[in-house]
Structure 1
Amino acid sequence: MTSPEIRTDVPPSGTGCADCLAAGGWWFHLRRCTECGHVGCCDSSPAQHATGHFAATGHPVVQSFEPGEDWFWDFSSEQAFTGPELAPPTSRPEDQPVPGPAGAVPVEWRSRLHR
């Protein structure tokens, strides 16, 4: 899929969920907007910021921001697909804990995940 929603020249906004970091929250897995680079947390995370970013901006495509994963997801069509390589870095740092960030994850984090 090649479209204006996928910009290969835009770097990610950071190494963690920008919204969770701003609010002092935590995330399970990370997703990267392919249009603007916003890094948000996945739908299993308590705050579901990647989906919230889509709802607020209309940017429909994300790529996994997890090491070893390169799949894309289109919120509009609700379909996964493969796409081009994006600007680096292409994932969170491998030494960053999951869930993260370090020090912000509650002991009972598993019970707070969305399934």
Structure 2
Amino acid sequence: MNASPVIDPIELLTNKGNRQSSFLSPIWNPMACALAGFGVAMFVNWGFRKPVFSGIQKHIAFTAIGGGAGYYFDQKRNDYLAKRDAVLRHYIELHPDDFPVKERKKYGDVLESWVPVR
């Protein structure tokens, strides 16, 4: 049987460069909110019974506001998650006996063998 790697709880909360973010990850929220802003401009025009694409300056403004809001909320979310991970990392460092190092198990070790009963 192979020796299973050991899991350290602190390593779960640190990114040592082994996780690569996707191409869309940094631009997804601003792009989605900009698209939502464009949609809001179309909806406002539809609500006032105007042609949907009339007043292009409104579409540009709502798209820019939506993109800026998406970028702002994305940064706030990243700051919140970084703070949360730092607090959890600090707690684990202060209380190492509450988080013992565990040996990683594979599904084959955990699950019982399946025997069909017919």
TM-score class, shorter-chain normalisation, is: under 0.3
Q: Which has the higher helix share?
A: 2
Q: Which has the higher strand share?
A: 1
Structure of greater Rg: 2
TM-score (norm 2): 0.22
Compare relative contact order (CA 8 Å, sep 6+) and give the higher one, 1 or 2: 2
TM-score (norm 1): 0.22
